[in-house]
Amino acid sequence: MSRAFTLLEPGTMALEDGARVDFARMRRERLERCLAEMERHDVDALVLHREGNARYVSGARRLWRAVVTAFTPSCVVVRATGQVHLMSTWDDGIPAEIPNQNLYGLSWNPRNYVAALQAVDGLADARRLGVDGMSALFSGMLPAVAPNATLVDGERVMRAARMVKTPDELGCIRTAVAIAEGAMSDTLDAIEPGVPERDLVAAFQQRMTDFGVTTPATEGTFCATPREQPAGANPAIAPLRQIVFDRPVRAGELIACSAGVLYAGYEGAVGRTWPCLGPGATVTDGQRALHDRAHTVLDALAAQCHAGRTTADLRQAARATGEPLPPVPLAHGVGLGVEAPLVGGALGPELPAEEPLVPGMVLALTAYAWEPGVGGYLGREMVAITDAEPERLTRLWHGPLARD
Amino acid sequence: MVVSSGGSLDLARMRHDRHARLQTELQRRGVGAALLLTSGNVFYATGAHVVPSDNARTYHQRTIALVVAGDEHPHLFTPYPEGAPPELPADHVHPPLYPELDEGVKDMARRLDELLGGTLAGTLGIDDFTAPMYLGLPELVPFELTNAGSLLTGVRLLKTDDEIECLRRSWAINEAANQAVEAALRPGLRESELTGIFLRTLYELGATSNFLDPVFQVMPERIPDAAWSTNGDLPFALVTTDRILRDGDLVWTDTVMGYEQYASDVGRAWIVGARPTSRQRELYRRWKLITDAVIDAIRPGVSGAELTRIAIDANDGVKPWLDHYFLAHGLGIEGGEIPQIGSDLGQTFDEGFVLQPGMAIVVEPITWADGHGGYRAEELVVVTETGCERISDYPDTPFV
């Protein structure tokens, strides 16, 4: 088991001893977790659209797209057969345990999807069919695919399966974090007066590909933090720009930088705030104070990352610091991209449901402290919840604003 | 922006015109309001910017649009209020909805009721559902729910002049980034390094976002040497890896990015290091013949079926596109919009689809000779009142 953790040590060269993530074991354990949750939720089959769900049950490396499109059935899991069926016109990127006859081609014609689903062994017999979304177009076609099925929330099944990470999944996440931090470190070094914010995205993305990763988890935020509330803004919410554009960063500004990458589908993300220093300039006490305030919140959040605590404890801990909630989510699960639970910040969502924190969950924690006339500090860390102390996955230094 | 198309662009006018078109279509169909969840539709309806991200992040931090018939502005529910267009009144910019959970759907129903309750004239159209929404929302709202997907598809098909200018700029940035990669192409680079050069150039030239893991696929010379496929045809486009490029490799590209969220879909063919063989140049010449014949025929009133017939005739009776794709497709806020001409939608679709001014069409035939590889490139045209305007402008060297 300990060998699953060695991924980062040997680098990327070919290794005869297989001392890396055991991807075959990872896929097997994930599918087992999915089938177990299907049984627990009394779901006979899953018809899935979301790429993270399809990747979880199949390990398929399909073409990544950054747009949310309407529901199409791109992956099917049948509990009785234990088989995964996938929309893929070819077997490139498809793990060997998924036989070619389980693949169906990309299509523009919904009738061809229906025919492909009708050919899936066992799907027509499903009584309870889980879906992770639905479109009007496909809801009309489901009776032809599973005539006796009642539809249920398949995302709930997948959420339960995906919440707890196996040791191999944690190995992937640690690797993703190392890559994200590597790309971020170089990007932070590129901050100087006059550099357009968008060039920082460019720098992050190119450095990311040096590690063989071609897909970001998010294009991210590389934005100077506002020093005043914009006109018409809600004064109760700390101002933060998250959307990058051509604006050059200026001397004296604090630049909020937060981005992530996907390694084998798994997200690693990190957020730091760096001062844009002109020639001979140094950071101010006011800027350092913002760093300290944000870290008080991050420490308070991390202190709640124990088995037995809940998402409500996270929000309560953040509030107890006296800092206003940030204009971004306080925390969210991390795995194959962003996962539940989501703990909303000042913009919500604030939902009555409390979700328990359990060992094996990975969370991204976010804090933002803001001071008029100074700017803001955005910090983002990733932690894994264990049986004992939480494991801090991010370790990139906090730079010129940190006191030590 | 470093790349310039020379055309004028007024984003506020573009949003205004799109809203007016949506309003006309809502009234025409008796839809009282459209609740929109998919990225392209939300952007079309609102023009709201976001932090472009992996889908998994977007599910948890969605922008959602509500377009009410008769309302001067759309409603926007967003986790990125700074991305709302400046003309959107404050009472139309709302905190995000979270339809991932049953509680979030209840909240959605409450907020829909606040905005629409007692005043909705007609049905509530929805383009896509989360599972809790699909299972829960119909019981929670007093509205008749209909499909808004086809309504948006139809409205988005015909572009305004501003939309076409966005497509021009998007295509120009994408081509420039492809050219930067081609200029760097040499044995020993990795596919993923090509991605790095591409992405860096995109953002430096002013791209708003990247939509697709850029494809730089080393092609086999023979289909039997390629991956297995469901239809026996050539597998393309495969996912980029850190494969090391070698002298003589034939690389096909497929890159989709956004300028103001308007997509470009550039595809080119390159040779690593070496010059193309005489057979490869011949395949290029045939591709050019087919492409020019198709583009020459593009004008209002021509059907998709006529285009496929022209392409097949120019290729001596053989269909010059992959079985799992199409000869041509639409382009707009997403890389692939209707029509998919020559796809598995079938002959009836192609015959019924008639070109009109304002449509943006990507023409992408393929020529192939097993044992020698083939040629593929994508060209963008916009249908005008009398013919079409060719927007793509990428040098075909070294195949010429």
pLDDT tens digits, one per residue of B172-195: 999 999 999 999 999 999 999 999
Q: How far is A86 from chain B (nearest CA, A)?
A: 11
Q: What is the DSSP string of A115-170?
A: HHHHTSTTGGG-SEEEES-B-HHHHTTHHHH-TTPEEEEHHHHHHHHHHSPPHHHH
Residue A2: is its pLDDT beyond 70? no
pLDDT for residue B5: 60
A96–B contact, CB cutoff 8 A: no
For residue A104, give the nearest of B129, B199, B230 by CB distance. Answer: B230
Q: How far is A251 from chain B (nearest CA, A)?
A: 21
Query: Which two tokens mark A52?
Result: 């993270």
User: In whole angstroms, how far apart are CA A70 and each of A51, A73, A136, B40, B257?
Assistant: 12, 10, 9, 10, 19
User: In whole angstroms, how far apart are CA B141 and each of A292, B76, B106, B107, B135?
Assistant: 47, 19, 9, 11, 12
Q: How confident is the model at residue A43 (pLDDT cuts 50, 70, 90)?
A: very high
Q: Do residue B228 and residue A217 have CB atoms under 8 angstroms apart? A: no
Q: Do residue A71 and residue B39 have CB atoms under 8 angstroms apart? A: no
pLDDT for residue A104: 97
A341–B contact, CB cutoff 8 A: no
Q: Do residue A243 and residue B61 have CB atoms under 8 angstroms apart? A: no
For residue A108, give the nearest of B146, B210, B344 by CB distance. Answer: B344
- Which residues from B are below 8 Å from A139, CB to CB? 134
**Complex ipTM, two decimals?**
0.96
Residue A173: is its pLDDT beyond 80? yes
pLDDT for residue B3: 57
Query: Which two tokens mark B358?
Result: 């304002």
Residue of higher predicted confidence among B319 and A15: B319
A116–B contact, CB cutoff 8 A: no
List the one residue out of B262, B263, B241, B259 whose CA is nearest residue B251.
B241
Q: Do residue B190 and residue A212 have CB atoms under 8 angstroms apart? A: yes
How far does CA B33 lie from the centroid of its chain? 25
pLDDT, tens digit (0-9, with 9 covering 90-100), for B232-280: 999 999 999 999 999 999 999 999 999 999 999 999 999 999 889 999 9
Question: Which chain A residue's Cα is nearest to B333?
Answer: A67
Residue A70: is its pLDDT beyond 60? yes
- Which residues from A are below 8 Å from B83, CB to CB? 243
Residues of chain B numbered 140-159 and touching chain A (CB < 8 Å):
146-147, 149
Tell me which of B31, B173, B203, B262 to substitute to probe the interface with A (most A C-beta atoms closer than 10 Å): B203
Q: Do residue B213 and residue A65 have CB atoms under 8 angstroms apart? A: yes
Residue B11: is its pLDDT beyond 60? yes
Q: How confident is the model at residue A1 (pLDDT cuts 50, 70, 90)?
A: very low
With a pLDDT cut of 90, the percent of chain A lying above it is 88
pLDDT for residue B150: 92
pLDDT for residue A233: 84
User: What mean pLDDT comes out for the span B160-167?
Assistant: 97
> Using CA atoms, how far apart are residues A238 and A236, in angstroms rounded to an integer?
7
> Using CA atoms, how far apart are residues A214 and B194, in angstroms rounded to an integer?
10
Residue B84: is its pLDDT beyond 70? yes
pLDDT, tens digit (0-9, with 9 covering 90-100), for B87-122: 999 999 999 999 999 999 999 999 999 999 888 989
Residue A24: is its pLDDT beyond 80? yes
A115–B contact, CB cutoff 8 A: no
Question: Which chain A residue's Cα is nearest to B254?
Answer: A63
Q: How far is A256 from chain B (nearest CA, A)?
A: 14
Residue A9: is its pLDDT beyond 60? no
Residue type, A111: R
For chain A, the average pLDDT equals 94
Q: How confident is the model at residue B59 (pLDDT cuts 50, 70, 90)?
A: very high
Helix (H, G, I), strand (E, B) or coil at A290: helix
A5-14, A38-47, A391-400, B256-265: least confident range: A5-14
For residue A243, give the nearest of B51, B103, B215 by CB distance. Answer: B51
pLDDT for residue B6: 65
User: What mean pLDDT comes out for the span A253-266?
Assistant: 98
- Which residues from A are below 8 Å from B39, CB to CB? 67-69
pLDDT for residue A4: 44
- Which residues from B are below 8 Å from A92, CB to CB? 227, 235, 238-239
For chain B, the average pLDDT equals 96
Q: Do residue B203 and residue A328 have CB atoms under 8 angstroms apart? A: no
The one-character DSSP state at A56 is H
The one-character DSSP state at A83 is E
pLDDT, tens digit (0-9, with 9 covering 90-100), for A91-110: 999 999 999 999 999 999 99
pLDDT, tens digit (0-9, with 9 covering 90-100), for A209-245: 999 999 999 999 999 999 999 988 888 999 999 999 9
> Using CA atoms, how far apart are residues B369 and B219, in angstroms rounded to an integer?
12
pLDDT for residue B282: 97
Q: Residues B118-133, buried b or exposed e (16+ Cβ, 10 A)? A: eebebbbbbbbbbbbb
What value, to the nearest 5°, has the Cα angle with vertex B154 and ends B151 and B156? 105
Residue of higher predicted confidence among A19 and B325: B325
Q: How confident is the model at residue A3 (pLDDT cuts 50, 70, 90)?
A: very low
pLDDT for residue A8: 54
Residue A403: is its pLDDT beyond 80? no
Residue of higher predicted confidence among B381 and A354: B381
Q: Do residue B131 and residue A89 have CB atoms under 8 angstroms apart? A: no
For residue B382, count other CB atoms closer than 10 A to its CB: 21
Torsion region of A232: left, alpha or beta (phi above 0 gives left; psi -120 to 50 gives alpha)? left
Q: Do residue A66 and residue B344 have CB atoms under 8 angstroms apart? A: no
